[in-house]
Chain A
Amino acid sequence: SQQGEEDPQALSIQEGENATMNCSYKTSINNLQWYRQNSGRGLVHLILIRSNEREKHSGRLRVTLDTSKKSSSLLITASRAADTASYFCATDQAGTALIFGKGTTLSVSS
């Protein structure tokens, strides 16, 4: 069963613009992670935010977590064509398997 639900399902922007993706989940979590998947490839881990953290940065990525609303957002600043990919949020409830959302497909055009 799905835990995370991302929105939007698809997002198209121009290079240089910011991209924001949202994720909602249903149950309490240990942490929430964001992954990127390029077409035909596996998932690449981007960033992990723990349940007691509210915001985290990594390069051009900024993740926020609101446990009261059971939601998270991923912001990619100054997007590049190479950022074109699908982005998934995944929740870790008990240190075992991750539960993934269905993803947001991001298209960045130059």
Chain B
Amino acid sequence: GAGVSQSPSNKVTEKGKDVELRCDPISGHTALYWYRQSLGQGLEFLIYFQGNSAPDKSGLPSDRFSAERTGGSVSTLTIQRTQQEDSAVYLCASSYMDQPQHFGDGTRLSIL
């Protein structure tokens, strides 16, 4: 079946604007994760959704970042009032039970 799908693949925006990044997980996967990958920082965990449980938001770097998962499927990561340090590749992954995570190709976000 289809893998994890992320959109847009690239996003360029001006500092101070809000952006929304979308993730379509693999059908049936109960867990969904957002990570950020930037040069010199490796992969950082942002937020984790598991079924109907409250999300683990412990990795969100500031209150400008938020995410939601509607109907246990599609997720949107929102960054408000973007800053240049938000420039990175944002990766989404999904998994089922204790199986390995499957990653999308990411959204490359550039803040001018």
Do A and B originate from a single complex? yes
In the complex, the chain B residue whose C-beta lies closest to that of A102 is B42
Say yes or no: is A25 at the interface (Cβ < 8 Å to chain B): no
Could you mark each residue 1-23 of chain A with 1 if its beta carbon is under 8 Å from any beta carbon of chain B, else 0? 01000000000000000000000
Say yes or no: is B67 at the interface (Cβ < 8 Å to chain A): no
Could you mark each residue 88-108 of chain A with 1 if its beta carbon is under 8 Å from any beta carbon of chain B, else 0? 101000011111111100000
Give chain B residues whose Cβ lies under 8 Å from the Cβ of A44: 103
Give chain B residues whose Cβ lies under 8 Å from the Cβ of A95: 98
Chain B interface secondary structure, helix, strand, loop or mixed? strand
Q: Name which of A35-43, A52-60, A62-70, A74-82 contacts chain B.
A: A35-43
Give chain A residues whose Cβ lies under 8 Å from the Cβ of B45: 97-99
Say yes or no: is B11 at the interface (Cβ < 8 Å to chain A): no
Would you give the shortest CB distance from A37 to chain B, in whole angstroms? 8
C-alpha gap A48/B104 in the complex (Å): 19
Give chain B residues whose Cβ lies under 8 Å from the Cβ of A26: none
Whether B91 contacts A43 by the Cβ 8 Å rule is yes
User: A100's contact among B42, B50, B106, by CB below 8 Å, is which?
Assistant: B42
Give chain A residues whose Cβ lies under 8 Å from the Cβ of B102: 45
Would you give the shortest CB distance from A39 to chain B, in whole angstroms? 11
C-alpha gap A103/B38 in the complex (Å): 12
Complex A-B: 28 CB contacts under 8 Å: A35-B103, A40-B105, A41-B105, A41-B106, A42-B4, A42-B91, A42-B93, A42-B103, A42-B104, A42-B105, A42-B106, A43-B91, A43-B103, A44-B103, A45-B100, A45-B102, A48-B100, A88-B43, A96-B50, A96-B56, A97-B33, A97-B35, A97-B45, A97-B56, A98-B33, A98-B45, A100-B35, A100-B42
- Seen from chain B, the residues whose Cβ lies within 8 Å of a Cβ on chain A are 4, 33, 35, 41-43, 45, 48, 50, 56, 59, 91, 93, 98, 100-106
